[in-house]
Chains A and B, each alone.
Chain A
């Protein structure tokens, strides 16, 4: 069974503070992703990575940095947290999607509240 674990599962941060969300996968997948979910909206891609030590911008990268120090780990960093970044964040991993119809395996989410 594919496994993606996120930490912390819930966090309250102050405006202007630094937040790091961590993700670990044991699937041996090349791709890892960070998505943001807001109430009433679908998931929006923030950053993704297809190889260690490299990250790519998704649709909404502003205000976020990402780090992929190893194949297994992918972090999302909010250097200066803002109220608008209150959301649930999902990490996912996958093999190549498309011809192989590879699926995304999601973690359980990290609920971030910025006050």
Chain B
């Protein structure tokens, strides 16, 4: 089955800096890619998702890059602020069942003022 590795497990940046989180996956049939944010004591919320025909997507200070050749997905938070402090997860899926998502192990991001 699909294996998803996520790094780093912990990331600390200063306010205004960028933060980059990377996931690698193993299944070349993977076609749906997403990033979720989990704030303390809460469930996960979708940040952004892309299909495999998209290499780059930007929304509200977030950039998702997809490198299908290297099977690598990244999330870049530009100009991070303390409110971005949370745990971030990548999640991927593909054929035969897009609805079965495989999650990375999470990155705990701390943004210091």
Q: Which residues of A contact B (CB under 8 A)?
A: 4, 31, 35, 40-45, 48, 50, 58-59, 90, 92, 94, 96-99, 101, 103-104, 106-109
Residues of A within 8 A of B104 (CB): 42
Q: Which residues of B contact A (CB under 8 A)?
A: 1, 4, 6, 9, 31-32, 34, 36, 41-46, 49, 51, 89, 91, 93, 98-101, 103-106
A42 touches B46 (CB 8 A): no
B51 touches A108 (CB 8 A): no
Q: Can you give 26 contacting A-B residue pairs, CB < 8 Å?
A: A41-B106, A42-B4, A42-B89, A42-B104, A42-B105, A43-B91, A43-B103, A44-B103, A48-B100, A58-B100, A90-B44, A92-B43, A94-B99, A96-B99, A97-B32, A97-B93, A98-B93, A98-B98, A101-B32, A103-B46, A103-B49, A104-B36, A104-B44, A106-B45, A108-B42, A109-B42
Instruction: Report the minimal beta-carbon distance from A58 to chain B, rounded to whole angstroms.
Output: 7
- Distance between Cα atoms of A86 and B74 in the complex (Å): 31
A45 touches B101 (CB 8 A): yes
B106 touches A101 (CB 8 A): no
Q: How many A-B residue pairs have CB under 8 A?
A: 68
- Distance between Cα atoms of A85 and B6 in the complex (Å): 24
- Distance between Cα atoms of A48 and B91 in the complex (Å): 16
- Distance between Cα atoms of A41 and B106 in the complex (Å): 7
A98 touches B89 (CB 8 A): no
- Distance between Cα atoms of A40 and B11 in the complex (Å): 14
Which one, A43, A96, A98, A106, contacts B31 given CB within 8 A? A98
Instruction: Report the minimal beta-carbon distance from B23 to chain A, rounded to whole angstroms.
Output: 10
Instruction: Report the minimal beta-carbon distance from A90 to chain B, rounded to whole angstroms.
Output: 6
Which one, A4, A31, A50, A94, contacts B43 given CB within 8 A? A4
- Distance between Cα atoms of A98 and B101 in the complex (Å): 10
Instruction: Report the minimal beta-carbon distance from B63 to chain A, rounded to whole angstroms.
Output: 17
Instruction: Report the minimal beta-carbon distance from B48 to chain A, rounded to whole angstroms.
Output: 10
- Distance between Cα atoms of A43 and B31 in the complex (Å): 19
Instruction: Report the minimal beta-carbon distance from A76 to chain B, rounded to whole angstroms.
Output: 15
B89 touches A43 (CB 8 A): yes
Residues of A within 8 A of B32 (CB): 97-98, 101
